[in-house]
Amino acid sequence: MEPAHSIGKFGFRRWYERQLTEGFAWLITCLLCAVVIAAGIESVWSQLTSWRALAMFAFVYVVGLICWFALRRFIMLLTRAERIASHSSCESCGTNGRYAVLSETATMRVRCRKCAHEWTIPVGEALVKSQA
Ligand SMILES: [Zn+2]
């Protein structure tokens, strides 16, 4: 379980910060790809009969795939981070995001660093099923 291992290694707050940073880096990649696609389409439009137009179509197609992957990655990272964050408050004392990871399974067992209360946080497949 990748999120559980990373949360155990870095702590929830640093893990969450890293997820947001990586997610927005993917969003910026997506937006830059969109600009490249628009510029590529414009250059193709002016020389539709040239052999370079075919090469530009192929280039735009590849950049489009990168753009689509970046957008999906951005959405996945932010959705997962928000879902895990919604389970990260201690039910006993209300402390948010300060816990130690006890088990790195599909349902991550954690212990509050303030009051030692234990609870489970779904990650991976269990996370998706708990939100359905
Ligand atoms: Zn607590």
CB-proximal residues (5 Å) to ion ligand 1: 90, 92-93, 95, 112, 114-115, 117
Give me ligand 1 centre to Cα 2, in Å.
24
Give percent of the chain above pLDDT 90: 67
- The first and second tokens of residue 125, run together, are 């497949």
Cα 61 to averaged position of ligand 1 atoms, centre (Å): 51
109 forms beta bridges with 103, 120
How far is ligand 1, taken at its centre, from the CA of residue 92, in Å?
Answer: 5
* Distance from Cα 17 to the centre of ligand 1, integer Å: 21
Are the C-beta atoms of 87 and 122 separated by less than 8 Å?
yes
Residue 88's identity, in one-letter code, is S
82 C-alpha to ligand 1 centroid (Å): 20
Domain span holding position 85: 2-131
What is the number of structural domains in the chain?
Answer: 1
CA of 118 to the centre of ligand 1 (A): 8
C-alpha–C-alpha distance, residues 33 and 30, integer Å = 5
Please count the CA atoms within 13 angstroms of the CA of 54 that sit on its side-chain side. Answer: 3
- DSSP reduced 3-state for 11: coil
* pLDDT tens digits, 89-127: 999 999 999 999 998 887 899 999 999 999 999 887 655
Provide the 10 A C-beta neighbour count for residue 20.
14
Q: Is the pLDDT of residue 128 over 60?
A: no
Residue 93 Cα, ligand 1 centroid: separation in angstroms? Answer: 4
Which pLDDT value is given to residue 131? 54
Tokens found for residue 61: 């197609």
* pTM, two decimal places: 0.81
DSSP-derived secondary structure for 60-124: HHHHHHHHHHHHHHHHHHHHHHHHHHTT-B-TTT--BS-EEEEE-SSEEEEEETTT--EEEEE-T
